[in-house]
């Protein structure tokens, strides 16, 4: 069984998950920031390194106290393995799915083998079909979006199994706010803003709007079954995001996912 001592220093940067047993929250708390996230994210998150370590220590105590925590430590900071410089679209979620086996460190995504997919994700696929005519998939692997610079970031990056929202107010909000601010404040060598579109689904996501400055925002209700019919369906976020990217000279995202992961 591999341990944290046997991990390559850059293994955590792979988008494919590290085996869940490879590292624990206590080990994460002791690793240098540059081994937890991509190098440019390490620089951006340096101002909140202390709070991040406090959250990691809190998660270690949760586990020691007998609470199961999601996602596994190996995927906790997965969203930040994608280089900051590559991000073109930001999709903000709330907190991870609390169902065992669902949370993979990317908002709204699940492991490709998970069946059935969560209902919020099924609604995202319905809107993707209505918006761009792309057929819904039976799997929830969204890594192809991440590969194209779509940052799937929850406001809170952990949760107790079976207790949605249980890790809100534990420090994650300040960390993800710093990350979002770093994205919005990127400029080229000529001082021109780096292309970015933010997609905000639900009230928790909308709360980050003040952090985004002049970044174009697409906001609607959350895709949850409780709210999707109140403004998510019909919002056309995917085509609108592509139009806004093109207006900034940054091409488009191919939102079609492979039939199988």
95: annotated active-site residue: yes
Question: Residue 23's pLDDT is what?
Answer: 78
**Measured between alpha carbons, how far is 33 from 51 in angstroms, rounded to an integer?**
12
Give me the domains of the chain, ranges plus CATH numbers.
82-247 (3.40.470.10)
Spot the catalytic one: 95, 111, 131, 141: 95
pLDDT over threshold 90, residue 221 = yes
Reported as a pLDDT band with limits 50, 70 and 90, residue 1 is: very low
11: pLDDT strictly greater than 80: no
Task: Give me the mean pLDDT over the 110-125 stretch.
Answer: 97
Residue 21's pLDDT band, with cuts at 50, 70 and 90, is: very low
Which pLDDT score, from 0 to 100, does residue 8 have? Answer: 28
* Tens-place pLDDT, residues 81-105: 999 999 999 999 999 999 998 999 9
What is residue 22's predicted lDDT score, i.e. its pLDDT? Answer: 56
pLDDT mean over 173-197: 97
Tell me the per-residue pLDDT of 237-252, one tens digit each, with 9 for 90 and over.
999 999 999 999 999 9
What is the average pLDDT across 196-207? 96
What average pLDDT does this structure show over 142-163?
Answer: 98
**pLDDT given at position 17:** 39
Q: pLDDT band at 19, cuts 50/70/90? A: very low
State the average pLDDT for the chain.
Answer: 92
């Amino acid at each position: 069984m591999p341990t944290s001592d046997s991990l390559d220093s850059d293994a955590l940067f792979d988008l494919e998950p590290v085996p869940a047993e490879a590292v624990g929250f206590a080990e994460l708390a002791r690793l240098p920031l540059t081994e937890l996230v991509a190098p440019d994210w390490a620089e951006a998150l340096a101002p909140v390194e202390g709070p991040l370590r406090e959250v990691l220590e809190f998660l270690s105590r949760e586990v020691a106290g007998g609470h199961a925590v999601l996602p596994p430590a190996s995927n906790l900071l997965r969203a930040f393995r994608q280089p900051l410089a590559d991000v073109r679209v930001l999709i903000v979620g709330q907190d991870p799915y609390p169902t065992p086996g669902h949370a993979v460190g990317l908002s709204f995504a699940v492991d490709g083998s998970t069946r059935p997919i969560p209902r919020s994700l099924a609604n995202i696929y319905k809107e993707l079909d209505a918006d761009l005519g792309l057929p819904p998939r039976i799997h929830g692997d969204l890594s192809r979006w991440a590969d194209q610079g779509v940052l799937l970031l929850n406001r809170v990056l952990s949760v107790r199994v079976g207790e949605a929202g249980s890790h809100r107010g534990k420090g994650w909000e300040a960390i993800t706010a710093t990350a979002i601010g770093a994205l919005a404040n990127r400029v080229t060598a000529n001082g021109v803003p780096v292309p970015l579109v933010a997609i905000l689904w639900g009230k928790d996501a909308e709360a980050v709007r003040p952090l985004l400055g002049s970044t174009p925002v697409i906001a609607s209700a959350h895709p949850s079954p409780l709210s999707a019919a109140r403004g998510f369906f019909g919002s056309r976020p995917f085509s609108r995001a592509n139009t806004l990217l093109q207006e900034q000279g940054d091409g488009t995202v191919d939102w079609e996912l492979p039939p199988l992961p």
